């Protein structure tokens, strides 16, 4: 019944790096029926909507592979400081921003409270706009891990952020609680962070037995596992025990690269470099001197990551954009910055960065293979761009250039506006009551 045909598109299908000029895309009931050269289009039923894109760029919706939709643009040690009620309201807005920015899928790397699961339900039921969400729950971490943020003398309840669990059976129980609460993916901390003196990168915070318990329990219950692993030791632990999505992987040795290469078909790596780059840029606003930042190893970490990504790509390991947006220095809505980092820091072409964000991210987000490319049989998830991101990848950061986002055949526009529900002025009201071009609205002289 519901058939829509987009014509006159510059089509980047994401199947390979090609851009097809003068292309068409046809979807029916939210599923793509055809995407390719207009001359090959056939079989469209009478009564279909036809929309001329006027040569605009048409690409698959992107995947944010390390999402924290429930983070509220707080500082990195204040993730648990927002009341759940307020965090939920922010999360609704953040999900809208993520979709509006062209990210039609997201893999969560940890949610405060149970927000992700309920957010996902609201999105799927059509109550709120947002990406297809692989929902996570609270972080799983050991006592004195990076999830254990606060010293004992100032110990808050940590109600919403981390589940601090020690020992294989306690870890299994945490995974079971997350299963009961509806999570799709478990986020676990394997090592730490330069800012955490008690849990630096390279110091494993879980034993092998605990990681094995987390992953085997999650897989047994049909959930996946994402981890924080900065060091080669943590990455090797992740691969050996079957973690599915590895976050950071900043420092690699030969053995880690070889392990990743051998398991590359079942896993992916997301460097999530935005946090380090913005911390180096804005350390003052977080109360850190330049010396302190260098002392904590962040500059070295960025350099190491550039080298790690080169080695991962040479080994054929999928590297995904996304990561740690939702902090004060990496606010929600700026997710497309990651593609610029992939080009400028990691030396990819724009086309390669686009393929990472679409084809590769989509394949990891949806193991059923329904998203990430524009091909017959896949979900109609796409972005209409006013401009050419192949020529300049930064175009995707400009909300004015995101002409429309389409998810499952539903069309979204203006989601990046501060309040897309509100229209300004009498002209909007005239339009709303059916007066073409707002013709019924006129300004009168004041008195
Ligand atoms: Zn994260």
pLDDT digits (tens, 9 = 90+) for 203-253: 999 999 999 999 999 999 999 999 999 999 999 999 999 999 999 999 999
Measured distance CA(213)–CA(226) in Å, rounded? 14
| Ligand 1 midpoint to CA 275 (Å) | 9
pLDDT at res. 442: 65
CA of 66 to the centre of ligand 1 (A): 6
- Output the CA 352–ligand 1 centroid distance in Å: 23
Contact 430, 423 (CB under 8 A): no
Q: How big is the CA angle at 345 (ends 289 and 365), to the nearest 5 degrees?
A: 105
* pLDDT(145) > 70: yes
Cα(272) to centroid(ligand 1), Å: 8
142-156, 225-239, 294-308, 344-358: lowest mean pLDDT where?
142-156
Domain boundaries, the chain: 3-61+371-412, 62-365
Please say if the pLDDT value at position 443 is more than 90.
no
Mean pLDDT, range 137-160, rounded to an integer: 79
Max Cα-Cα span within the chain: 80
Tokens 């909507």 belong to which residue?
Answer: 49
Side by side, the strands of the sheet bearing 132-134 are: 62-67, 103-108, 132-134
Ligand 1 center from residue 185 Cα (angstroms): 13
- Between the CA of 90 and the centroid of ligand 1 the distance, in Å, is 17
By mean pLDDT, which of 195-199, 343-347, 364-368, 443-447 is the weakest? Answer: 443-447
Distance CA 270, CA 318 (A): 8
In angstroms, what is the span from residue 324 Cα to ligand 1's centroid? 5
Place of tokens 């400009």: 398
What mean pLDDT comes out for the span 413-428? Answer: 82
Predicted TM-score (pTM) of this structure:
0.94
Residue 155 has pLDDT above 80, yes or no: no
Q: How far away, in angstroms, is 25 Cα from ligand 1 center?
A: 35
Q: How many CB atoms lie within 10 A of CB 265?
A: 9
Q: Which fold has domain 62-365?
A: TIM Barrel (3.20.20)
Position 344 pLDDT exceeds 60: yes
What confidence score (pLDDT) does residue 447 get?
54
31 has which bridge partners?
A: 28, 379
What is the arrangement of strands in the sheet containing 185-189, beginning at the earlier edge strand?
162-164, 139-141, 185-189, 224-229, 245-248, 268-270
Share of the chain above pLDDT 70, in %: 96
pLDDT at residue 420 in the model: 82
C-alpha span between 25 and 33 (Å, rounded): 8
- The predicted-structure confidence for 106-132, as pLDDT tens digits, reads as follows 999 999 999 999 999 999 999 999 999
**Spacing, Cα 332 to ligand 1 middle (Å):** 13
> Could you give the CA distance from residue 217 to residue 444 in angstroms, rounded to a whole number?
70
What's the pLDDT band for 426 if we cut at 50, 70, 90? confident
Homologous superfamily of domain range 3-61+371-412: Urease, subunit C, domain 1 (2.30.40.10)
Interval between CA 110 and ligand 1 midpoint (Å): 7
252-271: average pLDDT: 98
Q: What is the mean pLDDT of residues 42-57?
A: 96
What is the 109 CA–ligand 1 centroid distance (Å)? 6
* Of the listed ranges 6-15, 59-68, 156-165, 177-186, the one predicted with least confidence: 156-165
């Amino acid at each position: 019944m519901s058939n829509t045909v987009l014509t006159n598109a510059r089509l980047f299908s994401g199947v390979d790096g090609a851009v097809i000029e003068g292309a068409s895309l046809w979807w029916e009931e939210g599923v793509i029926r055809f995407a390719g050269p207009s001359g090959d289009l056939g079989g469209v039923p009478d009564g279909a909507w036809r929309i001329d894109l006027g040569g605009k760029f048409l690409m698959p919706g992107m995947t944010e592979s390390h999402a924290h939709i429930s983070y509220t643009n707080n500082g990195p040690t204040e993730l648990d400081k927002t009341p759940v009620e307020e965090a939920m309201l922010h999360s609704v807005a953040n999900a809208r921003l993520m979709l509006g920015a062209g990210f039609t899928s997201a893999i969560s790397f940890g949610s405060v409270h149970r927000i992700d699961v309920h957010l996902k339900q609201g999105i799927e039921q059509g109550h709120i706009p947002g990406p297809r969400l692989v929902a996570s729950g609270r972080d799983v971490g050991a006592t004195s891990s990076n999830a254990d943020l606060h010293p004992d003398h100032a110990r808050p309840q940590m109600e919403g952020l981390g589940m601090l669990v020690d020992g294989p059976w306690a870890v299994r129980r945490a995974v079971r609680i997350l299963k009961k609460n509806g999570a799709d993916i478990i986020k676990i901390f394997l090592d730490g962070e330069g800012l955490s003196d008690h849990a630096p990168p390279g110091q494993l915070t879980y034993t092998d037995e605990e990681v094995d318990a987390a992953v085997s329990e999650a897989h047994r219950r049909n959930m996946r596992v994402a981890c924080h692993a900065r060091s080669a030791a943590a990455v090797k632990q992740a691969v050996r025990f079957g973690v599915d999505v590895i976050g950071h992987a900043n420092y690699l040795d030969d053995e880690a690269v070889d392990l990743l290469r051998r398991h590359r078909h079942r896993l992916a790596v997301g460097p999530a470099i935005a946090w380090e780059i913005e911390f180096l840029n804005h350390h003052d606003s977080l109360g850190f001197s330049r010396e302190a930042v260098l002392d904590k190893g962040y500059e070295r970490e960025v350099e190491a990551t550039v080298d790690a990504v080169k080695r991962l790509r040479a080994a054929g390991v999928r590297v995904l954009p996304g990561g740690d947006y939702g902090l004060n220095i990496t606010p929600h809505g700026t997710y497309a910055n990651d593609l610029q980092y992939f080009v400028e820091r990691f030396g990819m072409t724009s086309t390669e960065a686009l393929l990472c964000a679409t084809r590769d991210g989509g394949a990891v987000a949806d193991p059923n293979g329904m998203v990430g490319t524009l091909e017959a049989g896949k979900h109609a998830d796409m972005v209409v761009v006013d401009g050419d991101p192949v020529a300049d990848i930064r175009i995707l950061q400009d909300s004015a250039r995101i002409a429309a986002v389409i998810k499952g055949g539903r069309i979204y526009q203006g989601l990046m506006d501060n309040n897309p529900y509100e229209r300004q002025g009498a002209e909007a009201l005239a339009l709303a009551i059916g007066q073409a071009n707002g013709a019924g609205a006129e300004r009168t002289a004041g008195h």
